A and B are shown apart, each in its own frame.
Chain A
């Protein structure tokens, strides 16, 4: 695993790294290898224990020396609650195993946050963590829906990218029948909210570019998956902002195959071909790039695209009457050129996210 550049400091739900386990079980060889490859001896787990606390005094001494030789800082690195990223690792906790849902009784739902077309969102805690639970808006929940739901949600548990907000788990309580999607609580809500709501966050040019880069990285990761996760629509409503102002693609906004069939609530962000033809018949990655162009426009102008029109009007006009966002004269020429490139009418001529990221990074450097 080391050879394959696995993250040696990856943690599981207890905050333990491989080194914690190696120390605990007294595998001195393995522990040494891990340290030699950069495993941190002073990374605390959830219970504020570093790997060195776990092993026998002799071994601790040896590892400590080795770490110092390698130039590690021995001051304790506190356990970070944000490190949900490690979750995908092997888990002894049955609750987290790949296919089991979470029991609704384990959730303490405290406050109602929002009700949208797709469902009701509640805030709460689960195993001591701040979470939001989205109860999908369904006319009725059939057994078939539950089966599809349980089949589809595990692939949304993507924990290995900082710009992708994973779905932690899901539950499908029987009484009353509901479908619930659980993800980490994001204090600033969606990017849409941050830009157009009353979040009190000042998004300056630099921050806007940071958001854009975050989103591009997240999308690049999602596009690198094989097979790709279907029916995720990139809009500013589906991007969440973390407390450190990192933008994350919210997997909880994935559209389940049985959910909101035949309806598109945010056509303003969709490419014209995505409004006319089914995802199987278009280049989804290129269509996402169009959505990204709209996001760039939105970040730049701080306006809601086609704010004065109804979704039905937007959809019909974008699809059939060539309605496009208009780029105001005031914005930076670099951004306006990038927007135009990303929304090339020819889907095949739009760039990929891995091509866009360096451009954005360059812009960010020059803007500071």
Chain B
């Protein structure tokens, strides 16, 4: 009678094990689920008072007074790759700036509305302390804080109140209005010469609903977030290159060819050759070599990154090249090192043209350049 017992023992044991295992994992799963639920609940408990509850307004909430307007982002325009890129670039910038403070911003709408991050950002950028309340939970507190921070930002940016009221009011930022937050960040990035290249001409399509004579009218409005890069940066007055880019794209190729010939004539001595002006100068190495060849010195290899792999290394190289240019009493490049690294063609051409102008005659380079 013992034999069946023994015969079934091993499989049953196996079964037992597997069953137990199942129970175990199930138990764990259940626990994990509980934990995550608990966490979620806790998080909600902590955060809910701080994030404004979107009032479930229902149909009557949308009731508008006559001529009142509501606008919302047209959902498809959110998918616009340029907008996505802009948001990513801005987030990277904020995270770079705030890395020291161990602040990571993940969502441009969800993380910025309460003014806390904005306060830290402006404090970092201006190296000041903004006197505002510490983390607040209540909506009123948050809005007060946001008011202080935004007032300070407006003051720094020097924008008229009417403008800022329209573009980024306390209410619009606090209600996580993407357009308002973007306007604000783009203005900050421009003002502080953020080392990023924001995509040009980013627009968002807004759906505007207006009630006229008791009839809801809808229309689409294009809201411009960033404009053309050079017009927007407001830094340089327009020069020959702007004209060239805008009005004589055919001549642009002549200029590029001339610069290419000039550059190669010198780099040839090092058995180096540039084939494409657009993307072979962004790491700064050729610029450094060129300066050394033209000014008669060697740049020890520990002074720069011979084969840069990161953005920072490239910026370091281009900065170093800029230093060498200034030492050679070339005019300080209008472009930022980051522009070159970001392969901004116009900035690259300006820098090369400066070098060309100074050295073309002494080194017998080609003497024609289109105006």
Which residues of A pack against B, CB within 8 Å? 117, 139, 261-265, 267, 274-278, 281, 310-316, 319
Contacts and interface: CB of A to CB of B under 8 A. Distances in A.
A274 B320 CA distance: 19
Contact of A262 (B289, B293, B323): B323
A311 B298 contact: yes
Contact of B327 (A139, A275, A276, A314): A139
Most buried by A among B298, B299, B327: B298
25 contacts: A139-B326, A139-B327, A139-B329, A262-B320, A263-B292, A263-B297, A263-B298, A263-B299, A264-B298, A265-B296, A275-B298, A277-B301, A278-B300, A278-B302, A310-B269, A310-B296, A311-B296, A311-B297, A312-B293, A312-B296, A312-B297, A312-B298, A312-B299, A314-B298, A319-B301
Contact of A265 (B289, B297, B301, B320): B297
Interface in B280-302: 289, 292-293, 295-302
Given A264-B299, A276-B301, A312 B327 contact: no
A275 B301 contact: yes
Most buried by A among B293, B295, B300, B324: B300
Nearest to A138: B327
Nearest to B292: A312
Contacts of B371: none
Interface of B: 269-270, 289, 292-293, 295-304, 320, 323-324, 326-327, 329
Contacts of A319: 301
Given A262-B324, A316-B298, 11 more contacts: A262-B323, A263-B295, A264-B300, A278-B300, A311-B298, A312-B269, A312-B292, A312-B297, A312-B299, A313-B270, A313-B293
Nearest to B267: A312
Nearest 6 CB-CB pairs, A to B? A315-B298, A312-B292, A267-B298, A263-B297, A262-B303, A278-B302
B240 to A, nearest CB: 27
A281 B295 CA distance: 27
A281 B296 CA distance: 26
A229 B89 CA distance: 47
- Main SS at interface, chain A: helix
Nearest to B298: A315
Contact of B296 (A117, A139, A278, A316): A117
A263 B270 contact: no
Nearest to B320: A262
B326 to A, nearest CB: 6
Contacts of B300: 262, 264, 274-276, 278, 315
Contacts of A316: 270, 298
A249 B140 CA distance: 75
Contacts of A311: 292, 296-298
A43 B320 CA distance: 56
B299 A315 contact: yes
Given A312-B289, A316-B270, A264 B301 contact: no
Contacts of B293: 310, 312-313
A293 B117 CA distance: 61
A173 to B, nearest CB: 22
Contacts of A139: 326-327, 329
Contacts of A312: 269-270, 289, 292-293, 296-299
A318 B270 CA distance: 12
Nearest to B294: A312
Nearest to A311: B298
Contact of B324 (A263, A265, A275, A277): A263
B358 to A, nearest CB: 15
Contacts of A265: 296-298
A261 to B, nearest CB: 7
A223 B79 CA distance: 68
Nearest to A318: B298
Contacts of B329: 139
B81 to A, nearest CB: 40
Contacts of B299: 262-264, 312, 315
B300 to A, nearest CB: 6
B323 A261 contact: yes
A313 B267 CA distance: 10
Contacts of B326: 139
Nearest to A320: B301
Nearest to A315: B298
Nearest to A261: B323
Nearest to A277: B302
Nearest to A278: B302
Most buried by B among A281, A312, A314, A319: A312
Nearest to A264: B298
A262 B296 CA distance: 13
Nearest to B272: A316
Contacts of B320: 262
Contacts of B323: 261-262
Nearest to B321: A262
A351 B299 CA distance: 28
